[in-house]
Amino acid sequence: MSATADQPADKTYAPLELFDTNRLLDDDERDIAATVREFVDTRLKPNVGDWFESATLPRELGREFGRLGLLGMHLQGYGCAGTNAVSYGLACLELEAGDTGFRSFVSVQGSLSMFSIYRYGSEEQKQQWLPRLATGEAIGCFGLTEPDFGSNPAGMRTRARRDGAGDNADWILHGTKMWITNGNLADVATVWAQTDDGVRGFLVPTDTPGFTANVIHRKLSLRASITSELVLDNVRLPASAQLPGAIGLGAPLSCLNEARFGIVFGALGAARDALETTIAYTQSREVFDRPLSCFQLTQEKLANMTVELGKGMLLAIHLGRIKDAEGVRPEQVSLGKLNNVREALAIARECRTLLGGSGITLEYSPLRHANNLESVLTYEGTSEMHLLSIGKALTGQAAFR
């Protein structure tokens, strides 16, 4: 029965209100989420359509993110906010509700560039770079993936060799990195290379002779994000450029695990925004003289998407609490990324169907989110690799080797 003047409409709830997930957060976590959401709503969302269409991301956003304390916010000291993992995750969620490009910027800056220095750098390297990266005065990127080596980074062809004898001999780096977020914006690149002693990490100032960043154009996804190819043509670095604590492939993989954790939350932001946008649309769009939201098939879609969004949020908060306690294991992060990105993509696609023809324009967010999530499904470990990571944890067998 529809509402009348004598019978007011039932109270409505936002999707995550049905799960009462705010009850699981403390005051500081709720405040951080609210602050970032307001920034996204007032500063980023009004402009994201233009940035997505023109395939640009203003460099000055780095300083704005820095002023909010978002860059390296889960790190301690060096000008970083020192928040817990859940707060960082919630910030990622709110940023990705605006666009995946915003969360990617903050994730690469904090969980890849800054974390690699924080975990594996010398004190001199930390003092030189972390305070500037935390404010957004400097921008960092992370060079691991290569044109022929994504899921199998151990096969990387980028090489670093010593030029001379002794511990103070220079390093010479030669190779190519691909699909590097922030590459053309960066002041410093963390570059991973094969050496005679295995994989090692190096801090490469981007004004070093022989270093070139080339923007990747004609993207159908992550258009409000700068993606680059990095070319290292016999780049000469001093011995002090090496990250002293980064020994073996486990070092860059640990950085990726930090970034993947942010994605567990971030993907839900895209899904939430797509779903909230679609609910509002169905309530105002009339079909056969009734709001689209009145039809059973519409409500079935909205209900199913809400269930998956809420389940993903509960999983994300649970993994965040584990990370803040004893530490989350890589296969647990794989569970979160696999499920939440997969479901977020399905939600964004389904939302587009409810928008009809309007859904293919930049006036509405679901298809933009879906296009972006196609990239998220692939980067920081493809869904196939996360499936195999979970399979290895279950069976003890590494099926990808």
Tokens read off for 48 = 């994201």
Query: Distance of CA 123 to CAs 84, 128, 130, Å?
Result: 23, 8, 10
| Cβ neighbours for 146, distance < 8 A, ≥ 6 positions apart | 153, 156, 157, 158, 175, 176, 177, 178
List active site positions.
380
Q: Which residue has the tokens 């000055």?
A: 60
Q: Coil, helix or strand for 214?
A: strand
Nearest partner of 188 among 180, 198, 196, judged by Cα? 180
Task: Please report how many Cα atoms fall inside a 13 Å half-sphere around the Cα of residue 65, on the Cβ side.
Answer: 33
What pLDDT, on a 0 to 100 scale, did the predictor assign at position 400? 79
291 CB neighbour count, 10 Å cutoff: 15
Domains of the chain (ranges plus CATH)? 15-135 (1.10.540.10), 140-248 (2.40.110.10), 251-395 (1.20.140.10)
Q: 147, 214 in Cβ contact below 8 A?
A: no
**DSSP secondary structure code for residue 114 in this structure:** I
215 is written with which tokens?
Answer: 């923007």
The helix-helix angle for 100-107 and 45-54 (nearest 10°) equals 90
Terminal C-alpha separation, the chain: 59
DSSP state for residue 113 in the 8-state scheme: I
Give the separation between CA 227 and CA 184, rounded to whole angstroms: 8
Radius of gyration of the chain measured on its C-alpha atoms:
22
CA separation for the pair 273, 284 (Å, rounded) = 17
CA dist., res. 238 & res. 241, Å (int): 6
Residue 43: closest CA among 93, 94, 107: 94
Residue of 251, 271, 381, 370 whose CA lies nearest to 316: 271
What are the strands, taking DSSP E only, across 144-278? 159-163, 170-181, 188-195, 198-205, 211-215, 227-237, 242-247
**What pLDDT is recorded for position 1?**
42
Can you tell me the distance from the alpha carbon of 127 to that of 328, in angstroms, rounded to the nearest whole number? 28
- Print pLDDT tens along the chain (401 aa): 445 445 556 889 999 999 999 999 999 999 999 999 999 999 999 999 999 999 999 999 999 999 999 999 999 999 999 999 999 999 999 999 999 999 999 999 999 999 999 999 999 999 999 999 999 999 999 999 999 998 889 899 999 999 988 889 999 999 999 999 999 999 999 999 999 999 999 999 999 999 999 999 999 999 999 999 999 999 999 999 999 999 999 999 999 999 999 999 999 999 999 999 999 999 999 999 999 999 999 999 999 999 999 999 999 999 999 999 989 999 999 999 999 999 999 999 999 999 999 999 999 999 999 999 999 999 999 999 999 999 999 999 999 77
Would you say the C-alpha torsion 255, 257, 258, 264 has a positive or negative sign? positive
* pTM of the complete model: 0.95
Pick the closest to residue 112 from 211, 271, 243, 238 (CA basis).
243
Q: Say if residues 125 and 203 touch (Cβ distance below 8 Å).
A: yes
